[in-house]
Structure 1
Amino acid sequence: MDARGADGRAGALSSSAYKPRKGGARLSVGFILARRFTLCAFANFVDVLRLAADEGDRSRPILCGWSVLSDTMCAIPSSSGVSIQPNERLGDPTKFDYIVVVGGVMEELSGLETAYAAYLRRAAEAGVPLIGICTGGFLLHKAGLMKGYRCCVSWFHHVDFLEQFDGLDPVSDQIFIDDGDRLTCSGGASSAHLAAYLVERHVGRAQASKSLHIMIIDDAMRPEKPQPGVSMDISTRDPMVMRALLLMQQNIDTPLSVAELARRMGHSKRQLERHFRSALGASPQAAFLQIRLTFARHLIETTDKLVAAVAVECGFCDSSHLSRMFRQRFDRTPQEIRRQAQQAASLPEARGGSRLSA
């Protein structure tokens, strides 16, 4: 099937393009697991299928079917050390509605073995949509199967992607992307939402919602939903600055000096400062403070944590230090911001409308 429109761009396939199978499961998925794959991403995806496949929680693959594919049938180790035993050898890819590649640890993504790459190419030529989970999109790209497609990557790996994969359009501000016959997601909980998206398309909305609710996950998120994480309110296309900002996010509770940031990135302190000035018009220290204060405000507005606990979590000396920084940045104290957020949440509109009269 060709997902490309008249302009040659890949686009999301309409639900009408997917015809129910005659007999058997309405949705059938084959999995290829990379060595040291991300167990959480795989488990979330396959459990949505399992819970949607039958009434109740009996795990019978009636409405959905799935199988872990292998060239050798050897157990495949995950990044956590737990291994998965494949169900069947590589065969006819057209027996599946989708082939899912689950990636794993960045340091070991040397590429898929020849048999798997050839299998995926046969699937693509036959029109079977390919899915990259976690760093699975990286592996699809290495196999030459992502040309002209956007690829969803975790914000955590965005800079790795830019450094290692030319010619691909990485998107790290959505939980998953449906780009026609290539679908990608950032992994973790987002793989459950992608699986629910496919279940809704092939099986039904009720089954998709049931799966997520049993897994204690809120209603299904659409592809354009932003990835969870710290909102930095800072944007730049400078790869060095982007990487530094991500390192800052990952070390909010223990702020790094500019010298340490530069050392970890393999650059000089002066070089890093020069890039920040050019890209943001601010110093790395100022950007780091903004990230920490933005996260602190998020915690103040959305949790009941003590101000002192928020201060420690965001790398400030104590609550007094945090309050001083809040006054300078937001012209209000943390307590005032929390009170305002609580008042806004108590308004009828925030609760979904006023109560019905008796």
Structure 2
Amino acid sequence: MIAPFRRYDCDMTPTPAPRPRLRVGFLLARRFTLSAFANFVDVLRLAADEGDRSRPILCSWQVIAQDSAPVRSSCGVTVGPEEKLGDPSRFDYIVVIGGLIDEGGLPPEEIAFLRRAATARVPLIGVCTGAFILHRAGLMQGYRCCVSWFHHDDFLEQFDGLVPVSDRVFVEDRDRLTCSGGASSAHLAAHLVDRHVGRAAARKSLHIMIIDEAMAADDPQPGLPLDLKTRDPLVRRALLHMQQNLDAAPGVGEIAARLGVSRRKLERHMREALGLSPAAAFLKVRLAHARFLLARPGHSVTRIAAEAGFCDVSHLIRVFRQHEGTTPEAWRQANAAQRAPV
């Protein structure tokens, strides 16, 4: 890491560099998600210095671990820790970056470090499946928790009686912060920069990263509508395939073929799991994506129709009116009025 900038008095005596306004320590789980980590760090890096010089002046960040062994991410790239665990109170926040559910985790020494941090009242952040790790460590009792819609059912399977927030970008509940991972980690990092460094620095980071504007905690996650929850693995794979191919609008037979099952089997599983035909479920997914885009500025209804898999604007308006009781543009205006500050 580049050494902190130091000032010199007239007699050339160096004076200590000012303490960063935001100090963050990262714990990386085995097979962690590289993009979630990189997005978080880059927001800090870009906010820490003037221009794009990356000096850790206003923000500092360290990867910490029980030893110096590199940690392998889910994509195979390794990251080497910079510091041993030490005193958790030297950080303003400690961030756990999760990854693959079946393979990710932290060694016992790092779990003990997190518990010491909680005792010292250092806020803990779970990114991606980092929330799972915090829960397993017994550090989320009584707290609201955010996970990706993609991992909603996985969370329910592992933690009985705990219902996560899967329709928001991130959740801040006192000294626990959790987010769904991916791009949302940039928005959570920008939220912290806004608080400790300033709004201009947060906006600068996001703009350099080609992110139009910061998303607030209560902004919705893009993804599947939550009324399509199921534990049926075949149906979950089918829904994910639909969500990832909105603009191509694959037919039921094509989806079944991609999943290696017959059309009849897919239809039977969808009816039993959701009470819907595949076509009806796909329409729900497309409408959910249309609502998500309508809630964001800068998307014309024409563009939304194309991105959500509708034939044209007329098709979107007709279907939207049938299901929402209003037109897309009227829905957008009502949503904007509801979200406007009082």
TM-score, normalised to structure 2's length?
0.74
Is 1:215 equivalent to 2:213 in the alignment? no
* Superposed displacement of residue 139, structure 1: 1.0
SS in 2 for 1:303: helix
* Superposed displacement of residue 70, structure 1: 1.2
Is 1:43 equivalent to 2:38 in the alignment? yes
Name 1:78's counterpart in structure 2.
73
Is 1:330 equivalent to 2:310 in the alignment? no
How far apart, in 2, do the equivalents of 1:331 and 1:166 lie?
36
Residues 92-171 of structure 1 mapped to structure 2, 5 A cutoff = 92-109=87-104, 111-171=105-165
* Superposed displacement of residue 271, structure 1: 6.1
Amino acid corresponding to residue 94 of structure 1 in structure 2: S
Residues 1-358 of structure 1 mapped to structure 2, 5 A cutoff = 23-109=18-104, 111-229=105-223, 232=225, 235=227, 239-240=231-232, 243=236, 245-246=239-240, 248-250=242-244, 252=246, 253=248, 254-256=250-252, 270=268, 272-277=270-275, 282-292=276-286, 301-303=301-303, 314=309, 322=311, 326=315, 330=319
Contact 1:293 1:326 in 2 (8 A): no
Instruction: Structure 1 unaligned segments of length 5 or more: list them.
Output: 1-21, 317-321, 333-339, 350-358
* Superposed displacement of residue 215, structure 1: 1.6
How far apart, in 2, do the equivalents of 1:296 and 1:177 lie?
23
How far apart, in 2, do the equivalents of 1:165 and 1:107 lie?
15
How far apart, in 1, do the equivalents of 2:316 and 2:71 lie?
53
Task: Render the CA deviation track for 1:106-157: whole Å, top value 9, x for unaligned.
Answer: 2313x32101100000000110010001111111111111111121111111
Alignment length (residue pairs): 298
How far apart, in 1, do the equivalents of 2:168 and 2:194 lie?
19
Of all paired residues, the percent bearing the same amino acid is 58
Task: Render the CA deviation track for 1:42-76: whole Å, top value 9, x for unaligned.
Answer: 11111111111122222111111110001121111
Contact 2:270 2:277 in 1 (8 A): no
Amino acid corresponding to residue 138 of structure 1 in structure 2: F
TM-score, normalised to structure 1's length?
0.71
Contact 1:29 1:99 in 2 (8 A): yes
Contact 1:28 1:96 in 2 (8 A): yes
C-alpha change, 1:55 and 1:82, in structure 2 (3 Å) is same
C-alpha change, 1:262 and 1:123, in structure 2 (3 Å) is farther
Superposed CA RMSD: 3.8
SS in 1 for 2:195: helix
Instruction: Structure 2 unaligned segments of length 5 or more: list them.
Output: 1-16, 294-298, 322-326, 337-342
